[in-house]
Structure formats: structure tokens, C-alpha cells
Amino acid sequence: MTTSHTTPWAASRLAAVRPSFIREILKVTEDPTVISFAGGLPNPDLFPLQAIEEAAARVLRDEGTQALQYSTTEGFLPLREWIAARYARRGVTVHPDDILITTGSQQGLDLIGKCFIDTGEAVMLERPGYLGAIQAFAFMEPRFCTVPLEDDGPDIDAMAATLGSDAPTVFYAVPNFQNPSGVTWSGEKRAAAAKLLEGSQTLFVEDDPYGELRFSGTSHPPVGSMLAPDRRIMLGSFSKVASPGMRVGWLVAGPALRGHLVTAKQAADLHTSTLTQRILARFLADNDLDSHIAKIREAYGHHAKVMIQAMEQYFPDDVKFTRPEGGMFLWVTLPQGCSSMDLFEKAIEAKVAFVPGAPFYVDGSGGNTLRVNFSNANEAMIEEGVRRLAGCLESYLAA
């Protein structure tokens, strides 16, 4: 499916970077008769369209010339103040100066790679891990090592062993409702992981775009809040709680790390769009984000429930799946030896799509896993899609 076009000018580092497999799959699922659980899209019915329209009109009317001008690399101060106040509510002390606004949290990953990963250095990921991070870090030509993800977070013994043997420069993780698995780290595992990290030389990068989308259970503090500010970076994003198209995210880092990241961001794009930062800040000042998030949580919680019930009803017993307490994804594991790539071919014929799990592994394993999104399809489509998938599973497992 991937393109084989290349050019003699291609830098050698590109050999280590694969085009996003998910983008390729999304092309196959453009057919409107396919029920797609493949994408990672927030539900567009929940975009705060009118409120953002009003915020945009106010910004252009009241502060138009500043909004259309270049601005500082660090980002719009009222937006950074809002983010710092949001951390304070969760009991995490963050100063607005510790925050760098980024063009989506994806840019944060790119900047971290450029600043803190040298060619050949070890980078530790969860197994499975977020594909966008694998792709961003791959440009730096690191050596990846992984720690297996269990139902309640990383395998702590394996984490201790890998920190010791590979001495990774960075450990990147998504402790809340992980993309792709939907797994959330327990309070105990957070404390144990923080303790291990404290005794290591490894920089912890905590990516948390889904943390606010909890629809059951209780929240845990960020792992990064248990670590000194110069040994961790915490990433956040407005993509899943307001709008991904605005491309506004942030990172939190102590001064020793931040200086480098600001320099890298200057080189990348000078600053994130002044206009969208100001529209977002206006939107946040004039509206109650919590009541908006409550609607998203309720909808996604309902979608997840419908999907889990349908899987419990229709899936063969030897097919396992996670039961996430938030976020947008769940993770299906087929019996050992099965190939979700082969299942994918059957599923497309049956007009239902998912993402095969192998690309989320950097070690060639995970061939029997797959990612399913529940945020984007409606209730009837979720039922029908799971039923189609169950039919494919039955014929695949019988073959």
C-alpha cells in the first residue's frame, strides 16, 4: 500500500522513517459504505463550532492587528496562564513560563526528538506504542527499546531491566487511555515507574491528549508531577477537547529543557499561529470548557459501552479486548499466530475497517492485535460494524 517513489536527494535518515500506515489505511476506508473504526478522529458533531465562530469574530474585531501579527515563540501568555491554572486544579504546580505552546502535541514530539535524541541512542517506548511518536523519533535514527504494557500500565520489572540495560535517553509514554491500547496506568504503577525514573538518567516524556476524556473510574496524577521539572516533559493538547484542526498543543518543561525546545521551535515555525492561539484563548475565557468536555465524555462513554457490549455478545470467546475508562480506542488481541493483517483484508470485503496492530510495535511483534476507534461512529454503526467484524473473525478463525 505504501508508495515506493523516491529520489536520489532523499537523506539517508529517511530510510528509518515509514509513511504513516494509518494514513494509508484511511485511503481504503474513504468508501462511504465502509464502517470505519480505523481513524483516530474526534467526533465532529461535538466540535464547539458556534462558540469558536463567536470567539473568532471577537478576536478579529477587538484585537485583529495583533492576531494577524508575528508573536513570541513561547506562545500567547493568557493561553499559557489558562493551562497553568488547569494544572493547578489537578494539584500540579506549573508556572506559565514553564509552558511552550506547540503546533499540536505532535510538534512537541518532533522538537523533543531534535533536542534530546542523538543518532543511535536508545529510546524506550511502551509496547504497543503511539505511532506518531515512533514516526517523529525515527527521524533521529535512534535504537528503540520497549516495555510491555499490561492491563494497568507498564511491566515494572521489565521497565527496571530495560532502564538498566539500555540506559535510554528518553522514555515516552501515554499513561491515560493510551493510543492505541486504551490502557491507563494505575496509581501504584505510576508511583513505581516514577521511582525507577528518579534513579535513572532517562528523561520521561508524558503525552496526555486524552486525560480529560475519562468516562468511568477515578483520575490519577500525571507521572511527571512526581518527577523534578528538569527530568520530565509533559505534553498536552486542545485537539480532543476543542478542535484538532486548530493545531494547538503545549509542553511543560523545566528551564534546562525548555531553552533548547524554544530554539528548536524557532527553527521549525517561529511560533504557533497567533490567530488560532488568540481564538482559542477567547473561546476558553468566554465559555465553560468543563461543560463542553462533559458532553464529549458522555458521548464517548456511551459509544464505548455499546461497542464493548456488542463485542461481548458477538466476538468468539478466544478474542480478547480492553475495556477502557476513557479516550477513543480499544485494543483487540486475537489468539497467538493469527494475523490481523489477513483479517483486515476480509474485513474490508465485509465493509468494516480497523487498524492492524503491527505498526504500533517496533520489534516486529503484535501481528495478532488490532486497534478499534469508538469516538467517531454512531451507535447503530458501532453495533453493525462489530457484528460484521465478528462474522469475519468467525470465518477467519475457522479457516
Q: Is 71 in the site for ligand PMP (CB under 6 A)?
A: no
Residues numbered 163-202 forming contacts with ligand PMP, rule: CB under 6 A: 174, 179
* Pick 52 or 393: Cβ nearer ligand PMP: 52
* Pick 329 or 344: Cβ nearer ligand PMP: 329
| Nearest-angstrom CA–CA distance, 259 and 301 | 40
Q: Is 105 in the site for ligand PMP (CB under 6 A)?
A: yes
The residue with its CB nearest to ligand PMP is 104
* Pick 244 or 385: Cβ nearer ligand PMP: 244
* Pick 128 or 229: Cβ nearer ligand PMP: 128
Residues numbered 195-254 forming contacts with ligand PMP, rule: CB under 6 A: 207, 209, 237, 239, 244, 249
Q: Is 75 in the site for ligand PMP (CB under 6 A)?
A: no
Q: Is 104 in the site for ligand PMP (CB under 6 A)?
A: yes
* Pick 105 or 369: Cβ nearer ligand PMP: 105
* Pick 200 or 243: Cβ nearer ligand PMP: 243
Contact segment (CB under 6 A) with ligand PMP among 102-110, 192-200, 332-340, 356-364 equals 102-110
Residue 235 CB, nearest approach to ligand PMP (Å):
7
Q: What is the 3-state secondary structure (H, E, C) of the chain?
A: CCCCCCCCCCCHHHHHCCCCHHHHHHHHCCCCCCEECCCCCCCHHHCCHHHHHHHHHHHHHHHHHHHCCCCCCCCCHHHHHHHHHHHHHCCCCCCHHHEEEECHHHHHHHHHHHHHCCCCCEEEEEECCCHHHHHHHHCCCCEEEEEEEECCEECHHHHHHHHHHHCCCEEEECCCCCCCCCCCCCHHHHHHHHHHHHCCCCEEEEECCCCCCECCCCCCCCHHHHCCCCCEEEEEECCCCCCCCCCCEEEEECHHHHHHHHHHHHHHHCCCCHHHHHHHHHHHHHCCHHHHHHHHHHHHHHHHHHHHHHHHHHCCCCCEECCCCECCEEEEECCCCCCHHHHHHHHHHCCEECEECHHHCCCCCCCCEEEEECCCCCHHHHHHHHHHHHHHHHHHHHC
Angle (nearest 5°) at CA 329 between 323 and 334: 65
The residue count for binding ligand PMP (CB under 6 A) is 14
Residues numbered 131-150 forming contacts with ligand PMP, rule: CB under 6 A: 132
Site string for ligand PMP, 285-324 (x = CB under 6 A): ----------------------------------------
Q: Is 277 in the site for ligand PMP (CB under 6 A)?
A: no
Of 36, 73, 106, 225, the one binding ligand PMP (CB under 6 A) is 106
| Nearest-angstrom CA–CA distance, 83 and 321 | 34
* Pick 185 or 315: Cβ nearer ligand PMP: 185
Site string for ligand PMP, 5-44 (x = CB under 6 A): -----------------------------------x----
* Pick 40 or 48: Cβ nearer ligand PMP: 40
> Which residues contribute to the site for ligand PMP (CB under 6 A)?
40, 104-106, 130, 132, 174, 179, 207, 209, 237, 239, 244, 249
